[in-house]
């Protein structure tokens, strides 16, 4: 057998891939599992977005290869969206590069800027893709700690005392997944200043800024950000378009030109009807986001009740699609609580340890399930507790 390349050493299958197979087998065995693990929005995009897709897809001329930089209308729509919601002025021909999802952008950024001998700073806990992309590029990961005691924000003073000579890039993600911690303009400014001082590219992954948050902010608003920061963004969460794969990276034109050199060898452009639908999605009124957040707040309250029933501790001011909670002391770690709930109650919560060692004593509930479904999960716990008292 031909052996896989060594670049895959240390990169295992994504946790959810295996767990979803296990849950599917439990379903086939007659055990209906309530899956509150994965953050895949269950709500549809706006009707106007779907109509734009179907109308454009019916045009014979719309099915060919497209530009690697997206259609001008899409870049302009991203710029208008940033101006309207983040208060930032960008140039559609210089500062925006559309992507086939922002997860693609994580790999593109890593492959463009990192190589063997380089180091990337990655959050612990944090999105596992940052580690995987860094390793695929042949670079090394240096973890930086995020803790509840520091509001899940990077301690840049402590980090500055470490050896940063080989550090070329720093992954950040605010509002933060999985903890739901928000950032602030002051935090973003400190990150930009840190990047300038140590010659480190700061990459903020920003797909959650509209979810349970009425005041979206961007790292690109910080003074001096253009020279040292990139921002990834996406329509997956804010417009319920996760499967459509629509994202972008914004920043200095020289950085985007370098990323394009890699990206143009990886795809042949994005389906034009999807781009035209994305233009429509980026023009949705503020009422869209208000209604979406009303739905998530209703679900969040049920998730809070589930965690209260489990004697977990959590911050009620979290943002994003999840609720992050500290587990009771009697459990060895989040995996233990997650497995107990799955095998005894047929309810799946994500163990926090999959996001790094600092998440070991936590679990995460996704809000991508109806309030009624979350209530069914709560009822399983309440009924069990009543029967044992």
Fold agreement (6-44+287-387, 47-284): no
Identify the residue whose tokens are 């794969």: 245
Least confident of 30-39, 182-191, 255-264, 306-315: 30-39
Q: Give the strand pairing for 96-99 and 247-250.
A: antiparallel
pTM given for the model: 0.93
* Residue 321 · residue 300 · CB < 8 Å: no
When pLDDT is averaged across residues 19-41 and rounded to a whole number, the result is 88
Answer whether residue 5 shows pLDDT above 90. Answer: no
Q: How confident is the model at residue 388 (pLDDT cuts 50, 70, 90)?
A: very low
Condensed to tens digits (0 to 9), the pLDDT of residues 70-92 reads 999 999 999 999 999 999 999 99
When pLDDT is averaged across residues 198-212 and rounded to a whole number, the result is 97
Peptide bond into 178 cis (omega under 30): yes
Answer whether residue 389 shows pLDDT above 80. Answer: no
When pLDDT is averaged across residues 50-63 and rounded to a whole number, the result is 97
Tell me which fold the domain 47-284 belongs to: 3.40.640
Q: How confident is the model at residue 16 (pLDDT cuts 50, 70, 90)?
A: confident
* Residue 142 · residue 119 · CB < 8 Å: yes
Question: What pLDDT was estimated at residue 10?
Answer: 78
* Residue 80 · residue 89 · CB < 8 Å: no
What's the CATH number of domain 6-44+287-387, 3.30.365.10, 3.30.428.10, 3.40.50.620, 3.90.1150.10? 3.90.1150.10
Sign of CA dihedral 346, 347, 350, 353: negative
Sign of CA dihedral 3, 356, 157, 186: positive
Question: What pLDDT was estimated at residue 293?
Answer: 96
Answer whether residue 247 shows pLDDT above 60. Answer: yes
Answer whether residue 4 shows pLDDT above 90. Answer: no
Instruction: Give residue 234's Cα distance to chain centre.
Output: 9
Residue 204's nearest CA partner among 183, 223, 179 is 183
Question: What pLDDT was estimated at residue 122?
Answer: 98
Condensed to tens digits (0 to 9), the pLDDT of residues 293-325 reads 999 999 999 999 999 999 999 999 999 999 999
When pLDDT is averaged across residues 26-48 and rounded to a whole number, the result is 91
Question: What pLDDT was estimated at residue 7?
Answer: 85
Enumerate the domain spans of the chain.
6-44+287-387, 47-284
Question: What pLDDT was estimated at residue 22?
Answer: 85
Question: What pLDDT was estimated at residue 383?
Answer: 55
When pLDDT is averaged across residues 102-129 and rounded to a whole number, the result is 96
Percent of the chain past pLDDT 90, that is, above it, reads 87
When pLDDT is averaged across residues 248-253 and rounded to a whole number, the result is 97
* Residue 138 · residue 170 · CB < 8 Å: no
Condensed to tens digits (0 to 9), the pLDDT of residues 323-364 reads 999 999 999 999 999 999 999 999 999 999 999 999 999 999
When pLDDT is averaged across residues 137-147 and rounded to a whole number, the result is 97
Answer whether residue 48 shows pLDDT above 70. Answer: yes
Cα Rg for the chain, rounded, in angstroms? Answer: 21
Answer whether residue 224 shows pLDDT above 70. Answer: yes
When pLDDT is averaged across residues 138-147 and rounded to a whole number, the result is 97
Q: How confident is the model at residue 274 (pLDDT cuts 50, 70, 90)?
A: very high
Question: What pLDDT was estimated at residue 23?
Answer: 87
Question: What pLDDT was estimated at residue 132?
Answer: 93
């Amino acid at each position: 057998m031909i052996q896989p390349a060594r670049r895959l050493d240390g990169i295992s299958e994504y946790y959810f891939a295996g767990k979803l197979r296990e849950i599917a087998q439990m379903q086939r065995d007659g055990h209906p599992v309530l899956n509150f693990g994965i953050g895949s929005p269950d709500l549809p995009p706006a009707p106007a977005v779907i109509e734009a897709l179907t109308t454009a897809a019916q045009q014979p001329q719309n099915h060919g290869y497209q530009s690697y930089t997206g259609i001008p209308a899409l870049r302009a729509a991203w710029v208008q969206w940033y101006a309207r919601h983040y208060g930032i002025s960008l140039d559609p021909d210089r500062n925006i590069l559309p992507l086939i999802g922002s997860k693609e952008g994580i790999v593109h950024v890593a492959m463009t800027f990192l190589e063997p001998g380089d180091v990337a700073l990655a959050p612990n806990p944090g999105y596992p893709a940052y580690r995987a992309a860094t390793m695929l590029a042949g670079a090394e990961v240096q973890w930086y700690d995020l803790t509840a005691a520091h509001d899940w924000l990077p301690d840049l003073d402590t980090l500055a005392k470490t050896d940063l000579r080989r550090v070329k890039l720093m992954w950040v993600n605010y509002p933060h997944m999985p903890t739901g911690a928000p950032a602030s303009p002051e935090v973003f400014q400190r990150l930009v200043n840190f990047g300038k001082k140590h010659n480190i590219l700061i990459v903020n992954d920003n797909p959650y800024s509209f979810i349970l948050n009425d005041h979206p902010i961007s790292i690109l608003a910080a003074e001096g950000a253009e020279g040292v920061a990139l921002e990834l963004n996406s329509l997956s969460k804010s417009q319920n378009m996760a499967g459509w794969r629509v994202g972008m990276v914004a920043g200095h034109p020289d950085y985007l030109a370098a990323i394009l050199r890699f990206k143009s060898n990886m795809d042949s452009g994005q389906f034009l009807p999807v781009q035209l639908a994305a233009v429509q999605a980026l023009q949705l009124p503020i009422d869209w986001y208000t209604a979406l957040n009303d739905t998530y707040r209703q679900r969040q309250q049920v998730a809070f009740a589930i965690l209260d029933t489990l004697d977990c501790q959590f911050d009620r001011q979290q943002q994003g699609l999840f609720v992050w909670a500290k587990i009771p002391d009697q459990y060895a770690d989040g995996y233990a609580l997650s497995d107990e709930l799955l095998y005894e109650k047929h309810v799946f919560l994500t163990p926090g340890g999959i996001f790094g060692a600092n998440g070991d004593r936590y679990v995460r509930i996704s809000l991508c399930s109806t309030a009624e479904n979350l209530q069914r999960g709560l009822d399983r716990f309440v009924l069990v507790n009543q029967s044992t008292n």
